[in-house]
Amino acid sequence: MPEIIVKPSNLKELWEMLPGLPASRRYLAGGTDIVTANNAGAESSVCWIDISGLPELAVIKETAGSLFIGSGVKISEIERSKAAARWCPALTAAIPHFASPSLRNMATLGGNAANSSPCADGVCALVAEGACALLALRGKKRRLPLKDLFLGPKRTALKKDEVILGFEIPKRPRAGAYLKLGPRAYFGISKAAVAVTAEISGGVVKRVCVALGSVAPVPLHAARTSAWLVNKKLSAETIAGASDLVKAEVSPITDARSGADYRREMCGVLLERALKSLAE
Amino acid sequence: MSESKSNAGLSVFALKCAVNGERTEREICSSRSLIEFIRGDLGLKGTKEGCGEGECGACMVLVDGKAVNSCLMMAVQLHGKELVTIEGIKGKGGGLHPLQKSFMTEGAVQCGFCTPGLIVASEALLRRNPGATLEDIKLELTGNLCRCTGYEKVLSAVEKARGK
């Protein structure tokens, strides 16, 4: 465990507190990843800053064009949010596959993103939603497409002390799906996962975003497959074509959870099933 | 001020919370985990530590009415909140809770190590959804491992306690 944990009560207090803290420091949100990493000997910061109580990060709010989900909102709160159910079809479909009910009472989307694991169910779905991350460092705020936040396993584009305030999801009526292949039906880590959102009009794809989990060093935005699908009729041929294309876009590895070839093949199968469900 | 001196000032945290219905205020080591606080500082040994990584659910407690894994939560995160451990789960009049009774009558307890977590998780579900179906119960208990009973008896115990 770290030597100390500090608990600012709001963002202003956090920024004021930073200069007096040990240089070796990390943020603590839901704790489900960082405490596990600590117990496994993979996290050794001197100081953790508990941002789980910051009121600025705990809100879900709608503006004219987007839905904002604060980085500190618990996954189980998103599960109960009517606004999220309406505007985030892929995320809504992903939540039952996100760990277990008790871990969903603790974990946050901000932590899921900052941990930058390629298998993170929440952020894979959020990438498919076309979300932007809102970041803050003292007075400076910036907005980053979520897909650009991830640089590799456990590596993000976050600057030292930068906080993820939350995620902006465009409010557009669309359909979505999240399909996960794991070792069992629930509470497993995925071998491969596919998240899709699509706006379909008269059977033709107008906008689409395909994202994949556990088959690349980062939660993958399948840009080529997504672009190829636009303005195509969602026929059996189109679905088969997209399924072939996505297999060339992923770069899975063989590890304890699955093999690279199997994962690649399953990306095609999962995307096919997801697109079929959206075509119906 | 040297870094170690400034750290010394930050290593103690004045924690205010409610424990099983009673308000309490304690000075704790700020880096203490919730399960260390519960078992070590409060001396409430009903909560068990199994895997220490959120997989088994033996350490589950209620924080503001929601089931959480106390092995992955830090004690400072309890500040301003209400903790209920297995010791705080009681029936009306202070006797055994209906879940505790049905776990006994259905034979849902063998070695007993997972039982506090299972009862806490089931209690959270039945408070939120008193008419929970068998499918609801199965989904709610996905985060609780039992290596003795095979779950059938656990599921029937929770079904039997429903509505009581």
Give the pLDDT band (50/70/90) at residue B1. very low
The three-point CA angle B89-B68-A109 to 5° equals 155
- State the Cα–Cα distance between residues A229 and A224, nearest whole angstrom: 9
Average pLDDT over residues A61-70: 97
Q: Check residue B7 and give its pLDDT.
A: 66
Substitution target from A102, A108, A180 for chain B, most B beta carbons within 10 A: A102
Tell me if B73 and A106 make a contact (CB, 8 A cut-off): yes
- State the Cα–Cα distance between residues B143 and B137, nearest whole angstrom: 11
Tell me if A35 and B33 make a contact (CB, 8 A cut-off): yes
What interhelical angle do B115-128 and B152-161 show, nearest 10? 40
Q: How does pLDDT run across A214-252, given as a tens digit for each residue?
A: 999 999 999 999 999 999 999 999 999 999 999 999 999
Answer yes or no: is pLDDT of B2 > 70: no
Tell me if A187 and B142 make a contact (CB, 8 A cut-off): yes
- State the Cα–Cα distance between residues B146 and A118, nearest whole angstrom: 30
Q: H/E element holding A163?
A: strand A163-170
- State the Cα–Cα distance between residues A49 and B93, nearest whole angstrom: 42
User: What residue ranges define each of the domains in chain B, with the CATH number in brackets?
Assistant: 12-88 (3.10.20.30), 92-161 (1.10.150.120)
Closest CA to A66 of A153, A144, A148, A169: A169
Q: How does pLDDT run across B45-58, given as a tens digit for each residue?
A: 999 999 999 999 99
Which residues in chain B have Cβ-Cβ distances shorter than 8 Å to A46?
A: 7
Average pLDDT over residues A37-66: 95
CATH architecture of the domain with residue range A55-170: 2-Layer Sandwich (3.30)
For residue B92, the 8-state DSSP code is G
- Distance from first CA to last CA of chain A, Å, rounded? 50
Greatest Cα pair distance, chain A, in angstroms, is 61
Closest CA to B140 of A183, A80, A30, A102: A102
Tell me if A106 and B68 make a contact (CB, 8 A cut-off): yes
**ipTM value of the model?**
0.94
Average pLDDT over residues A184-190: 90
Give the pLDDT band (50/70/90) at residue B3. very low
Sheet of strand A47-50: strand arrangement: A4-6, A47-50, A25-28
Average pLDDT over residues B13-30: 97
- State the Cα–Cα distance between residues B154 and A133, nearest whole angstrom: 42
Average pLDDT over residues A120-145: 97
Average pLDDT over residues A179-204: 95
Answer yes or no: is pLDDT of A121 > 90: yes
Q: Check residue B5 and give its pLDDT.
A: 47
Q: How does pLDDT run across B67-120, given as a tens digit for each residue?
A: 999 999 999 999 999 999 999 999 998 899 999 999 999 999 999 999 999 999
Answer yes or no: is pLDDT of B6 > 80: no
Give the pLDDT band (50/70/90) at residue A46. very high
CATH architecture of the domain with residue range A175-279: 2-Layer Sandwich (3.30)
Q: How does pLDDT run across A80-95, given as a tens digit for each residue?
A: 999 999 999 999 999 9
Q: How many helices (H) and strands (E) does chain A have?
A: 11, 14
Tell me if B76 and A5 make a contact (CB, 8 A cut-off): yes
B118 touches chain A (CB under 8 A): no
